[in-house]
Copies of this chain bind each other. A is one copy, B any other.
Amino acid sequence: MGLVQTASNSSYRYHDAHLELDFIRKDASLDSHRLVLTRKEYELLALLVENAGEIIPRQILLMRVWGYSNEIRTRTLDVHIRRLRKKLGQYSEQYIETIFGIGYRFQPFRMTQRFPTGMSASPMAVGA
C-alpha cells in the first residue's frame, strides 16, 4: 500500500482493456500492438503502472528511474512523459495524469466515461 512499492507484492504483469505490460519481458503493448519503448520510457511507464492509481511525486520518479537525488533541476522527466503519452496515442490523456505541483499518476483504463461529451474535467485532483 505504501507509495512506490519495493517490488514484492506486484504481479509480473499488468493489463487492462487496452494496455498490457510484462514486467519480466519488459515490454508493453497497446491494443495488442507492440509498443516500442526505449529503456527509460519503459522504466518510467512501468514504475507508474506498478503503482497505478497512486500519485508518484517527481522526486520519486527522478530518483527511481534516473537515480537523481533531490535538488536536481531537469526537464527530462517531462520530456519522457510527453514521449510516453505520444506513444499511448488516443489513450494518453486517460492513462497518464499530471498532478500539478506534485508529479504524475497512471490510471487504469475505465470504460465508463464520466462525461460522454469528451470535454473531460481538468486532469487534476489533488493537494499537497
Interface residues on A, range: 20 to 34
* B39/A127 in contact, CB under 8 A: yes
Main secondary structure of the interface of A (DSSP, over half): loop
Q: Is A122 an interface residue when CB atoms closer than 8 A count as contact?
A: yes
Chain A residues at the B interface, C-beta cutoff of 8 Å: 26-27, 34-39, 42-43, 46, 100-102, 121-122, 124-128
With contacts A39-B101, A101-B39 known, is A34 near B125, CB below 8 A?
yes
- Cα distance, A36 to B123, chains bound together (Å): 8
Q: How far is the CB of A32 from chain B (nearest CB, A)?
A: 13
Which B residues touch A125, using CB under 8 A? Answer: 27, 34-37
- Cα distance, A37 to B99, chains bound together (Å): 11
